[in-house]
Chains A and B, each alone.
Chain A
Amino acid sequence: AQKITQTQPGMFVQEKEAVTLDCTYDTSDQSYGLFWYKQPSSGEMIFLIYQGSYDEQNATEGRYSLNFQKARKSANLVISASQLGDSAMYFCAMREGYNQGGKLIFGQGTELSVKP
């Protein structure tokens, strides 16, 4: 069965520093997609970045990058140059299948606090 594990309930980072949020996953499928979402206190889930299981390069979107280690089944999110507005809950999610629809399985989230 699919499972996403985020082992850091809470993280602190100094403004302008980089931070890594951990995510490990479990699946028996060869084809899958990994996602990171940000959820500020307002509640809306904001898509950040996507990595496909067959993508050879790590995904990057602006200050976000995904450190994908397939053999270790990890998909850590790296946020560079943290900003105060980055303070939020961050969720890692997985969808089985590649480039197709289907449910997302979410981890329990990591609460990131950025200190000025």
Chain B
Amino acid sequence: DTGVSQDPRHKITKRGQNVTFRCDPISEHNRLYWYRQTLGQGPEFLTYFQNEAQLEKSRLLSDRFSAERPKGSFSTLEIQRTEQGDSAMYLCASSLNSRPRTDTQYFGPGTRLTVL
């Protein structure tokens, strides 16, 4: 039973470049979440999918950020025209809505982005 995987694990880019991250959820999970975590803080919610539908986006998610989950399986998060303030750990999580359990979110190892 494989967990959530993310690729790449580390990304260094120059300001103004575009970057794309990939998340593969646990295989039977229908919900997928993206969070961002800066140093010394807890994760902050970015966006959430149920199957292929994007159900919620944070106001933190500027127009430079876009996320997709085209076939309800893996997801991509793209950041256009990166800024130094985008430097953070980007975490992906997945969950399965199954009663009576808790819809617990299981996290991947994260992608650490550094914008120079």
Q: A45 — which chain B residues lie within 8 A by C-beta?
A: 43, 91, 93, 107
- Say whether B25 faces chain A, with CB atoms less than 8 Å apart: no
Quick check: which of B11-19, B65-73, B77-85, B96-104 contacts chain A, the rest being far away? B96-104
A101 interface neighbour in B43, B48, B58, Cβ under 8 Å: B48
Q: A91 — which chain B residues lie within 8 A by C-beta?
A: 42-43
Residues of B in contact, count (CB < 8 Å): 32
Chain A nearest CB from B114 CB (Å) reads 14
Q: B101 — which chain A residues lie within 8 A by C-beta?
A: 99
- Say whether A42 faces chain B, with CB atoms less than 8 Å apart: yes
Of all chain B residues, the one with the shortest Cβ separation from A42 is B109
Cβ contact within 8 Å between B56 and A102 = yes
**Given that A43-B112, A44-B109, A101-B50 are known contacts, is A108 also in contact with B102, CB under 8 Å in the complex?**
no
Of all chain B residues, the one with the shortest Cβ separation from A95 is B103
**Given that A43-B89, A43-B109, A43-B112 are known contacts, is A33 also in contact with B42, CB under 8 Å in the complex?**
no
Cβ contact within 8 Å between B48 and A43 = no
> With A and B bound together, what is the CA distance between A99 and B31 in angstroms?
13
Question: Quick one: which of A81-116 are within 8 Å of B by CB?
Answer: 91, 93, 95, 99-109
> With A and B bound together, what is the CA distance between A102 and B58 in angstroms?
12
**Given that A45-B91, A45-B107 are known contacts, is A99 also in contact with B43, CB under 8 Å in the complex?**
no
A47 interface neighbour in B35, B45, B105, Cβ under 8 Å: B105
Q: A103 — which chain B residues lie within 8 A by C-beta?
A: 33, 45, 48, 56, 58
**Given that A43-B110, A106-B43 are known contacts, is A100 also in contact with B105, CB under 8 Å in the complex?**
no
Q: B106 — which chain A residues lie within 8 A by C-beta?
A: 47
Q: A50 — which chain B residues lie within 8 A by C-beta?
A: 102, 104
Q: List 12 A-B contacts (CB under 8 A).
A: A35-B102, A37-B107, A43-B110, A45-B107, A47-B105, A52-B102, A91-B42, A100-B103, A101-B48, A103-B48, A104-B43, A109-B42
